[in-house]
């Protein structure tokens, strides 16, 4: 099945939209092949501001209406407790909110950007999507991450080479309760590193300490700005550590 075939079968769709590579290409395809599409972006404590800005830019460039929903993910005690299957409870809460809104707006079909490269067995959140009957056209049509990046580039989407960005909660170790303070300082720290030119990195929480993970190719940039980074991050953390194993490139 191709995406064109999929949207012939489902011509009116709502897209759960994050502003990332996959959901951006899905929205592009829906705008191209479906008869009616609307994007739904969820703003919670887990999404940094730049993700919303990217989503708004994509929706504007594609001329697709986008609804922004405010969801209190931390209002669920199962999410706050941060167990290994936290993603299940979080996805359930967020997609339930989207499902309710799309129903009010007259849509029956809700889509997400899961692709054929995603390991469903290793993602507790996928169970919640299945329970809520969310369809994943990119996965159904067998599109992998590299293919989606290539197609996005051909389509002129600025997201084609955007690094993968997991939600802020993934920076906190399982079992450590999630607090707004922890998420806010993570966002501030990562925003600062972004401003210095870093990409595809993480600032992880180890108690009251920060552990920076970044690709090996960016280590020289880190050393160039070492004093600035330490000075800025120590406003919120006790110590600033570097993971020498680095991130895959």
Residue 166, in any domain of the structure: no
Output the pLDDT for position 164. Answer: 83
The confidence score (pLDDT) of residue 217 equals 95
- Mean residue pLDDT of the chain comes to 94
| 146-176 confidence digits (pLDDT tens) | 999 999 999 999 999 998 888 999 999 999 9
Q: Are 14 and 115 in the same domain?
A: yes
Q: Are residues 10 and 125 in the same domain?
A: yes
Same domain, 64 and 108: yes
CB of 148 within 8 A of CB of 22?
yes
Please write the tens of the pLDDT for every residue from 85-141. Answer: 999 999 999 999 999 999 999 999 999 999 988 776 667 778 888 999 999 999 999
Domain range for 94: 3-161
Query: Between vectors from CA 19 to CA 14 and to CA 136, what angle results, nearest 5°?
Result: 45
pLDDT in tens, 187-220: 999 999 999 999 999 999 999 999 999 999 999 9
Decide if 233 is inside a domain. yes
pLDDT at 32 (0 to 100): 97
Quick one: 7 and 113 in the same domain? yes
* Alpha-carbon torsion, ordered 105, 70, 42, 94, to 10 deg: -90
Residues 9 and 55 placed together within one structural domain of the fold? yes
> How many domains does the chain fold into?
2
Domain boundary among 161, 194, 221: 161
d(CA 155, CA 208): 44
Predicted local confidence at residue 123, as pLDDT: 74
Question: What phi and psi, each to the nearest 5 degrees, are found at residue 135?
Answer: -95, 145
Model confidence at 247: pLDDT above 90: no
Q: Are residues 150 and 212 in the same domain?
A: no
**What is the predicted pLDDT for the residue at 121?**
62
- Radius of gyration (C-alpha) of the chain in whole angstroms: 19
- The CATH code of the domain that includes 148 is 3.40.50.620
249 is a domain residue:
no
Q: In angstroms, what CA-CA distances link 154 with 49, 148, 158?
A: 27, 10, 10
Q: Is residue 168 part of a domain?
A: no
Residue 116 lies in a domain: yes
Same domain for 154 and 207, yes or no, is: no
228 within some domain: yes
**pLDDT (tens digit, 9 = 90+) per residue, 19-74?**
999 999 999 999 999 999 999 999 999 999 999 999 999 999 999 999 999 999 99
User: At CB < 8 A and 24+ separation, what contacts does 70-76 make?
Assistant: 70/42, 70/43, 70/44, 71/42, 71/43, 71/44, 71/97, 72/44, 72/45, 73/44, 73/45, 73/46, 74/44, 74/45, 74/178, 74/180
We report the CATH number of the domain holding residue 200 as: 3.30.70
Instruction: Decide: pTM greater than 0.85.
Output: yes
In a domain, 171, yes or no: no
Contact at 8 Å (CB) between 210 and 239? Answer: yes
Residue 196 included in any domain: yes
* Residues 63 and 183 placed together within one structural domain of the fold: no
**27 and 56 in contact (C-beta within 8 Å)?**
no
Same-domain status, 206 and 140: no
Same domain, 126 and 27: yes
Q: What are phi and psi of 244, to 5 degrees?
A: -75, -10
């Amino acid at each position: 099945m191709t995406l064109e075939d999929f949207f012939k079968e489902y011509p009116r769709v709502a897209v759960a939209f994050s502003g990332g590579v996959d959901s951006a290409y899905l929205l592009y395809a829906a705008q191209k092949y479906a008869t009616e599409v609307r994007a739904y972006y969820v703003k919670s404590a887990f999404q940094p501001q730049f993700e919303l800005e990217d989503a708004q830019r994509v929706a504007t460039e594609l001329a697709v209406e986008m609804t922004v929903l405010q969801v209190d993910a931390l209002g669920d005690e199962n999410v706050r407790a941060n167990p290994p299957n936290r993603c299940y409870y979080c996805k359930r809460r967020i997609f339930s909110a989207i499902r309710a809104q799309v129903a009010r707006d007259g849509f029956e079909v809700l889509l997400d950007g899961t692709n054929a490269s995603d390991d469903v067995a290793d993602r507790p959140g996928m169970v919640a999507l299945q329970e809520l009957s969310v369809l994943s056209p990119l996965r159904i049509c067998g599109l992998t991450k590299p293919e989606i990046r290539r197609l996005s580039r051909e389509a002129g989407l600025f997201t084609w080479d955007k690094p993968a960005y997991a939600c802020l909660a993934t920076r906190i170790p399982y079992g450590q309760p999630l607090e707004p303070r922890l998420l806010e300082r993570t966002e501030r720290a990562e925003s600062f590193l972004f401003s210095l030119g870093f990409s595809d990195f993480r600032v992880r929480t180890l108690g009251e300490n920060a552990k920076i993970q970044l690709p090996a190719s960016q280590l020289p940039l880190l050393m160039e700005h070492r004093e600035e980074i330490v000075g800025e991050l120590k406003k919120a953390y006790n110590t600033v550590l570097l993971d020498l194993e680095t991130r895959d490139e």
